Amino acid sequence: MSTSLKNNPLRIVFMGTPDFAVASLKALVEADFDIVGVITAPDRPAGRGRKVQESAVKQFAAEQDLNVLQPTNLKDKGFLEELKSLNANLNVVVAFRMLPKAVWQMPEHGTFNLHASLLPQYRGAAPINWAIINGETETGVTTFFIDEEIDTGSIILQKTEQITDEDNVGSLHDRLMELGGELVVETCRQIASGQVSSTPQKHFDNLKPAPKIHKETCQIDWNASLDAIHNLIRGLSPYPAAWSVFVNHGKEETIKIYKTKKEFVQHTDEVGKLIADKKTLKVAVAEGYLQLLEIQLPGKRKMETSAVLNGLDLDKNAHLR
């Protein structure tokens, strides 16, 4: 490998799809790296009108007049030939799908990935969500060289980020997105200079996974601890959102909950019971009450609970389950 960026300029293929990846691509463009290709997901119909939507990465790449490829099959012979013709010497992956070996082994300097956790903890599809759900106070971003198994390759660089009790997945996502962009640039500079080093991931018995979030993951168990419920809600806010069954006047509906406040007190109310006054709505749990600050009722938009209460007729047996 060459010892300087001047003598051995990087020719980068960037792979990513959502907003989280845009910050890294933008940082590479602003750092004057040569992006010879951008690979992103094919356009797909989305929303109620099924209007064809381009990925966030494609939209940004088009604005920068970058060469965009949107393969449906990463093992397709035609795509692999097109990828090879770009003559890239490094692949950079941020929030993309699993790559076949033929892709990640192709460039001279390999392929590195940005992951939104401090690996080896929180390998998987939803590291930001699970760090908050599990009540972590620290997380971060990691760059690592891709190998045979998902999120297990040798670590290049890491940066840490604190998680406050007020954070939700949205606020933490945005900070890690920017931090990740900085780390991607720093990693590319090390690779270009020939000064890069990587360390195999350590093996621990108590690794915490970060599997994909499903609908059942998002249902609130009101018998859990006050901290656990609060963390689940903020770890799923604003998307996909924690939910519960709202029982009122004998009718059952699904309610989404986005923001809460803990209240540790002793009481004799049944778990799940809803208690309201003109401005506040709270639900009884074993260790106290969880005040509901931002909710969404069926067919309604997300609102502050104080506004919802104006038109909400709660019966004395109203509860969440």
Side-chain half-sphere of 85: how many Cα atoms within 13 Å?
8
Q: What is the pLDDT of residue 310?
A: 86
Q: What is the pLDDT of residue 214?
A: 97
Contacts of 47 (CB under 8 A, 6+ apart): 53
pTM above 0.85, yes or no: yes
Q: pLDDT 10s digit of each residue in the chain, 321 long?
A: 334 455 569 999 999 999 999 999 999 999 999 999 999 999 988 777 778 899 999 999 999 999 999 999 999 999 999 999 999 999 999 999 999 999 999 999 999 999 999 999 999 999 999 999 999 999 999 999 999 999 999 999 999 999 999 999 999 999 999 999 999 999 999 999 999 999 999 888 899 999 999 999 999 999 999 999 999 999 999 999 999 999 999 999 999 999 999 999 999 999 999 999 888 999 999 999 999 999 999 889 999 999 999 888 999 999 999
**How far apart (Å, rounded) are the C-alpha atoms in residues 196 and 133?**
34
Residue among 1, 12, 17, 67 at smallest CA distance from 34: 12
At how many degrees (to 10) do helices 56-63 and 19-30 cross? 20
Question: Over 125-149, what HEC string results?
Answer: CCHHHHHHHCCCCEEEEEEEECCCC
Long-range contacts at 78-85 (CB < 8 A, ≥ 24 apart): 80/106, 83/13, 83/37, 83/39
Contacts of 66 (CB under 8 A, 6+ apart): 29, 35, 37, 38
**How far apart (Å, rounded) are the C-alpha atoms in residues 96 and 315?**
48
Contacts of 195 (CB under 8 A, 6+ apart): none
Answer whether 321's CB lies under 8 Å from 244's CB: yes
Answer whether 223's CB lies under 8 Å from 284's CB: no
Instruction: At 310, give phi and psi (nearest 5°).
Output: -60, -35
Structure tokens at 50: 């099924």
**How far apart (Å, rounded) are the C-alpha atoms in residues 30 and 27?**
5
